[in-house]
Amino acid sequence: MTRVAFSPDGARVLVLTRQVLDGSGFPEARLTVLDTATGRTLRDRTLTDQTPGATPAGLEAQVLRGEQARLKGWNLWPGRLSVPRYLAPASRVPNWNAGIGAGQTRRVQVTLWSRPVPVDLSVRAGGALPTTFALRVGGQRVATGGLRLPTCAVRFRLDRVDVQGNRALLTVRALRPGFEGPDDLPVFVAVTLR
């Protein structure tokens, strides 16, 4: 992720990501806007370019230019960056061991306001259904399924927590088999905390 920015009232959150795609080597940039009251995705736009010399940063600038009027209407300013309250240790390449699998729970203490609060990520086996996860923040269930998850995701890890007032963006990384090792794809959970 390159940027996370909340609207001043915290009602919406903007997330920008960019990467080089596994296998093809093509650059990609993605802009996502979520509603923190409902968790709904308001906008999700992805650009990929196969032109020689295209870069992820160039595509990110292009997607921002294309969405500038919409972002202004939502009072989202990409330069007003959120400082994460939790950030998982970075890895240069996706690693299966970074995530947890079916039947496992991992707790992380995150200082949301003035004190640490437990954030629990629990992975549930899907059986005939896809593997999914549940998230709890200080006992409040904030995600229990119903999220659009990447196909074939089998392991998950809490990657980042951003907060503005009582609004939060929790980013979970979904790990799935990829071309050259696991793919590491973000899943965004936007919530109003109690």
Which of 154, 169, 163, 89 has its CA nearest to residue 124? 154
Task: Quote the domain boundaries for residue 31.
Answer: 1-82
Asked if 52 and 106 sit in the same domain, the reply is no
> What pLDDT was estimated at residue 128?
62
Eight-state DSSP code of residue 85: S
Eight-state DSSP code of residue 2: -
The encoded tokens of residue 24 equal 């093809």
Residue where one domain finishes, among candidates 67, 82, 97: 82
Binned average pLDDT, 10 residues per bin, the chain of 194 residues? 95 94 82 96 94 92 95 94 94 85 95 94 79 93 80 92 97 88 90 95
Residue where one domain finishes, among candidates 27, 56, 82: 82
Q: Where are the beta strands (DSSP E) in 76-130?
A: 86-87, 105-111, 116-124
Asked if 5 and 43 sit in the same domain, the reply is yes
Which of 9, 150, 138 has its CA nearest to residue 76? 9
In degrees, rounded to 5, the angle at the alpha carbon of residue 23 between the alpha carbons of residues 22 and 25 is 75
pLDDT tens across 163-182, in order?
999 999 999 999 988 877 78
Asked if 38 and 104 sit in the same domain, the reply is no
> In this structure, which amino acid lies at residue 162?
D
Give the pTM.
0.92
Asked if 115 and 192 sit in the same domain, the reply is yes
Asked if 149 and 191 sit in the same domain, the reply is yes
Measured CA to CA, the distance from residue 71 to residue 43 in angstroms comes to 10
Instruction: Count how many domains the chain has.
Output: 2
Alpha helix stretches (DSSP H) within the chain? 56-73
Measured CA to CA, the distance from residue 51 to residue 165 in angstroms comes to 42
> What pLDDT was estimated at residue 92?
77
Measured CA to CA, the distance from residue 44 to residue 30 in angstroms comes to 7
Asked if 77 and 111 sit in the same domain, the reply is no
